[in-house]
Structure 1
Amino acid sequence: MRRRGWRSLAAAQVLFVVVVVLAAAAGAPASPTTRFTRANSPEWSPKDDKLVIVGYEDGGPKARGALYVIDSDGSDARRITPFLATVGAPDWAPDGKRIVFVADYKLWVVGADGSNMRSLGRPGGSPKWGPGGRWIAYHQRGAIFAVSPNGQRDAVVADPARLGGEQIFLMPSWSPDGERLVFCMLPAPDMSASASLGVLRRFGGRVTVVGSPYPNQPDWSPDGRSIALAAIDLRGAATVAVLDLPTRRVRMLRPGGSPSWSSDGRRIAFSGERQIYIMDARGLHLRQVTHAR
């Protein structure tokens, strides 16, 4: 993959997030998904009854985007943030009451009902809330960090410089027990070389490489045996895939990105070209959730 492509991917957080302009919109009115021109970055709520997604008003290069919470059948879409610059990478707190996300490459937290939106006071990307709710992992300047939900505590989780390698670490995802993190590893300075996934015990230890060429957006399954990811080919196209950890085998499922496991491990929500879809863990029983015009 070209060097510029990987850098763009790191800066954007997720494959399907684009730069949007800061708007003066406010409030969180109900909005049917048919009003979207496109949607991406789905994440299941802890109870599997809702998804948080990024929805866009128009399809231009400067399209405005905002976070929406929708029922898993695509109904009752509610905007919970104003339209923000470079909004993306939402993730639920374990209690389902808050959502962490990125806007303008800064970390933010907002109530699931749109209340109490606030900055965590630091730049970063791809935030993931830990299972215990005490830490939010994220990447920044090629390393993995963790911050407390109130923004008052920080910890270094995985720093390539301390581990003796010239690499860049991106897009962390917690194991179900909260004891390990999986993340994308890009070789540096030659980011055109093949990337891989690494696994590290939280706050220290040795990185274990678990394979998968050109991985992106990993999401650990609830049973701890698999990792859903977006496999990127040399043309930059993404396919939702599942890596089986015991066998290290990768199953390609369907074109798309931003995979998110349901809490029972039976379904995967993901982004298509313009819509959000849900399929079972084998890639079957595809269902379209959003209906962008």
Structure 2
Amino acid sequence: MRPVNPRRLKDGQVSELVVASHDGETIEVIYETGDLIEAPNWTPDGRWLIYNADGRLFRISPDGSIGPSRINTAPVENLNNDHVVSPDGHFLYASANDGHLYRVSVEGGEPVRISNTHPPERGFRYYLHGISPDGRMLAYVGLETGTGETMTRVFLIPSSGGKDVALTDGSSPVDGPEFTPGGEWIYFNSEQGSSAAEHAQIFRMKPDGTAVEQLTFDDRVNWFPHPSPDGRLVAYLSYPPGTTGHPADQDVIVRTMTPDGDAIREIERFNGGQGTINVASWSPDSSRFAYVRYPFR
């Protein structure tokens, strides 16, 4: 189930796993490595951060004192940086570079594929981002390339496997769908209504795809909204104006805002992007969240 993520750090570059307070008053590097690590995600019991590296998953304590240690997912060892933890803390769900979704015990074990097989001519791939508060549904981006053009849509699928249900129509590129803690909204980024190609902003919609609302309107390119467990804040990644997609090694800003898009606050600016904060990364008590910086030494 290889090859793995072809992206590597550049000469003189490191990964810094950061834990920041919700207001940015405290920012601490809890782990530094010369390897590429991506997408930290907090377990519901608050004991661990789980991140991706070289196609595999690892756990480390939030203060960096224990770990990192590998979570065995063999033979599926080509996981990308899209993974979530079930609300009961028993399972991990992850996307793999073969285009499918898998479930595995949080302690490790042989993964079970839960995604569907689509006709090869569709070029359909699953990119996981969210799980419903009751753990029953997964929110993912379905990427289709079979027509020669790229189309992305937000979908839901039962976490036990089942029918794929599209929530968006593919007319605008989308990414990063994630449920609010009460399950009443799905936050995501979209180019809907953008006057410039690939100029993503933050949106939300009901879990049935209705009541779509745009929440950010600035000239930056905004990705990956993550509602806090207490419902008070949304963290997201903000790229410089004119950025195409969500690449690595950009002058990014991690920001927070209130759920309606107000009170935008800059937490930190640094070299980052792809891998920084792709998945939900809030602590269970909403006091802190995690992300990865990629500075050059």
- TM (normalized to structure 1)? 0.72
Aligned Cα RMSD in Å? 2.9
**What does residue 70 of structure 1 align with?**
60
Q: CA 1:85 to 1:247, structure 2 compared with 1: closer, same or farther past 3 Å?
A: closer
Would the alpha carbon gap of residues 114 and 210 (structure 1) be closer, same or farther in structure 2, given more than 3 Å must change? Answer: same
Q: Which letter maps to 2:126?
A: G
CA contact (8 A) 1:38 1:274 kept: no
Determine the structure 2 residue equivalent to 1:143. Answer: 153
Unaligned runs of 5+ in 2: 9-30, 117-124, 144-151, 244-249
Secondary structure of residue in 1 paired with 2:115: strand
2:107 paired with 1:93 = no
Q: CA deviation at 1:43?
A: 0.3
Task: Give, as a single letter, the amino acid of the residue that structure 1 aligns with 2:251.
Answer: A
CA contact (8 A) 2:101 2:115 kept: yes
* 1:261 and 2:282 are equivalent in the alignment: yes
Tell me, yes or no, if the aligned pair for 1:20 and 1:84 is still in contact at 8 Å: no
Question: Which residue is equivalent to 2:168?
Answer: 159
| Equivalent residue for 1:209, pick from 209, 214, 219 | 214
After superposition, what is the alpha-carbon deviation per residue over 1:188-236, rounded to whole angstroms, capped at 9, x for unaligned? Answer: 8976253211111111322011115411121111222321011111364
Say whether the 8 Å CA contact 2:104–2:110 is kept in structure 1: yes
Cα shift at 1:187: 4.3
Alignment correspondent of 2:256: 242
Find the counterpart in structure 2 of residue 79 from structure 1. Answer: 70
Give 3-state SS (helix, strand or coil) of 2:229's partner: coil
Contact 1:40 1:274 in 2 (8 A): no
Distance (whole Å) between structure 1 residues aligned to residue 216 and residue 193 of structure 2 = 17
Confirm whether residue 218 of structure 1 aligns to residue 225 of structure 2.
yes
Aligned residue for 1:249, secondary structure, equals: coil
Partner of 2:182: 177
Indicate if the aligned counterparts of 1:230 and 1:241 stay in contact, CA closer than 8 A. yes
Deviation at residue 36 of structure 1 after TM alignment: 6.1
Q: 1:98 to 1:193 in 2, by over 3 A?
A: closer
CA distance in 1 between partners of 2:233 and 2:160 (Å): 31
Residue number in structure 2 paired with 1:113: 107
Query: Aligned partners of 1:191, 1:146: CA distance in 2, in Å?
Result: 28
What's the counterpart of residue 204 of structure 2?
199
Instruction: Note if contact 1:42-1:269 (Cα within 8 Å) is conserved in structure 2.
Output: yes
**Partner of residue 59, structure 1:** none
- In the aligned structure 2, how far is the partner of 1:230 from the partner of 1:121? 28
- Residue segments in structure 1 that go unaligned for 5+ positions in a row: 1-16, 22-32, 56-63, 276-292
Residues 245 and 178 of structure 1: CA distance in aligned 2, closer, same or farther (over 3 Å):
closer
Give the structure 1 partner of residue 40 of structure 2.
42
- C-alpha spacing 1:179/1:247, structure 2 compared with 1 (3 Å): closer
- How far does the alpha carbon of each residue in 1:31-64 deviate from its partner, in whole angstroms, 9 at most, with x for none? xx77762322100000111011012xxxxxxxx3
Write the deviation string for residues 219-265 of structure 1: whole angstroms up to 9, x where unpaired. Answer: 11122232101111136432211022356232111135306211111
CA distance in 1, matches of 2:295, 2:88: 29
- Whole-angstrom distance in 2 between the partners of 1:193 and 1:19: 23
Instruction: Specify the code of the residue in structure 2 equivalent to 1:114.
Output: G
Report the Cα distance in structure 1 between the residues aligned to 2:111 and 2:216, rounded to whole angstroms. Answer: 38
**1:98: Cα distance to partner?**
0.7
| CA shift in 2, pair 1:189/1:251, >3 Å | closer
TM-score, structure 2 as length reference: 0.71
Task: Give me the whole-angstrom Cα distance separating, in 1, the residues matched to 2:189 and 2:56.
Answer: 26
CA contact (8 A) 2:254 2:267 kept: yes
Residues 223/109 of structure 1: CA separation in 2 closer, same or farther (3 Å cut): same
Deviations 1:120-166 (A, max 9, x none): 2343113311111010100113211111112124322x2135xxxx3
Give the secondary structure class of the aligned counterpart of 1:167.
coil
For 2:6 and 2:195, how far apart are their aligned partners in 1? 25
Aligned partner letter, 2:255: A
Structure 1 pair 54–190 and aligned structure 2 pair: CA distance change class (3 A): same
| Aligned amino acid, residue 249 of structure 1 | A
